[in-house]
Amino acid sequence: MTDDGTTGWGEVRGNCEYVTGDTSERIISILSGKLCPLLIGKNPINRNEINSVIEKEIIGNSGAKMAIDVALWDLEGKILNLPCYDLIGGKVRNFIPSDANIAFNDIEHTINEAREYLEKGFRTLKVRVGMSHEMDEARVAAVRSTINSFNTNDDKKISLFVDANGKWKAKEALIMSNIFKKYDVAWMEQPVDETDIEGLKFLKNNADQEICADESCKSIKDVHEIGKNNAADAVHLKYIKAGSYEKLKAMIDIAEVNHQDYMLGQMDEGRLATAAILNVAATVKGNKFEVSCFKHVSEKNDPGKGIRLKDGGIYLGNSPGLGICVDKSLLKFEKNCKNFNY
């Protein structure tokens, strides 16, 4: 908040320890004990100065850093009366199309979910795999058949992706890749354990699908290493992995220099954090986005208001900042948040 009361809002998912090591308690502790006190009195528009202070004083903790970065970005937009995408060079698209994730389920539910997404306008379906091989094949086959029997009202190609979240060994993943080839699966995300860069590389060289690193790619250094080792066709980039727009942009730039495809995604956060990645998505050359997962946070209970899924994606507004209004009545305060002055 500035002296005149202009307020920027940030959001980060608390239980992201499986990606960044951050827990809710740790994020709150870093924010209240260190990050917020460091920023009092600083010029919120001078992001270079703020980022250099944060990087010098705090190692890691990209979750807490994201919460601050998103809030500062929102604040800067409100101060300058510009949408955030205009602060970073302007948008190249007004609509951010999203993939839709199909969760683990039985065949009937899988088909119903796929059909529902197609009817809602989604044109990329990403199936979570890593059950038994037979069940994975049956579910992917069911989604392919649902796609093939669906009459679109547009001429957009419907793509089928899978995400194994590191479930397989490399040779097992290649077996699955050959099975999925029958169903025209275009993208295989994190087929092997996050530490198995050689396995990713083996698949990149031998699998029919585009191989995407998600859990293997958590930092600028990871994007660089994966590119240098030619270990994946694509990387899945998320704000929380970077901790700031500045670092996320660096990850995007490295992927582009390496001629890698990239997906900009999110971590099932609410609408405010989603708006941050949407504002980035509006400006990039890439065209793969996963920005629909905020649907898991009900609109009624989400303090962030202002974005809605339509036609399988999100249309951008032109409000200053992130374009999200925060309903303070829906914020819940934990007792260890008492140091915050909302």
The minimum distance between CB 211 and Mg ion, in angstroms, equals 12
Residue with Cβ nearer Mg ion (84 or 162): 162
The minimum distance between CB 99 and Mg ion, in angstroms, equals 10
Residue nearest to Mg ion (CB): 214
The minimum distance between CB 126 and Mg ion, in angstroms, equals 8
Q: Answer whether 240's CB lies under 8 Å from 62's CB.
A: yes
Q: How far apart are CA 7 and CA 130, in angstroms?
A: 44
Q: Using CB under 5 A as the criterion, what x/- string covers residues 186-215 for binding Mg ion? A: ---x------------------------x-
The minimum distance between CB 236 and Mg ion, in angstroms, equals 5
Residue 244 CB-half CA count within 13 A: 17
Site residues for Mg ion, window 89-128 (CB under 5 A)?
none
Residue with Cβ nearer Mg ion (174 or 293): 293
Residue 276's nearest CA partner among 300, 299, 242 is 242
Q: Which residue has the tokens 């007004």?
A: 94
The minimum distance between CB 162 and Mg ion, in angstroms, equals 10
Amino acid at 103: A
The minimum distance between CB 185 and Mg ion, in angstroms, equals 15
Q: Please give the size of the binding site for Mg ion, defined by CB under 5 A.
A: 3
Only one of the segments 53-61, 142-150, 182-190, 280-288 lies at the binding site for Mg ion (rule: CB under 5 A); that segment is 182-190
Under the criterion CB under 5 A, does residue 163 sit at the interface with Mg ion? Answer: yes
Q: Answer whether 69's CB lies under 8 Å from 75's CB.
A: no
Only one of the segments 33-41, 158-166, 244-252, 255-263 lies at the binding site for Mg ion (rule: CB under 5 A); that segment is 158-166
Residue with Cβ nearer Mg ion (163 or 269): 163
**Which H or E element spans position 174?**
helix 170-181
- For 313, which DSSP code? E
Q: How far apart are the first and last CA of the chain?
A: 9
Residue 241's nearest CA partner among 259, 263, 258 is 263
CA atoms 304, 307, 310, 313: torsion sign: negative
Only one of the segments 131-139, 147-155, 162-170, 192-200 lies at the binding site for Mg ion (rule: CB under 5 A); that segment is 162-170
| Pair of tokens at residue 87 | 């602060």
Name the residues that contact Mg ion, by CB under 5 A.
Answer: 163, 189, 214
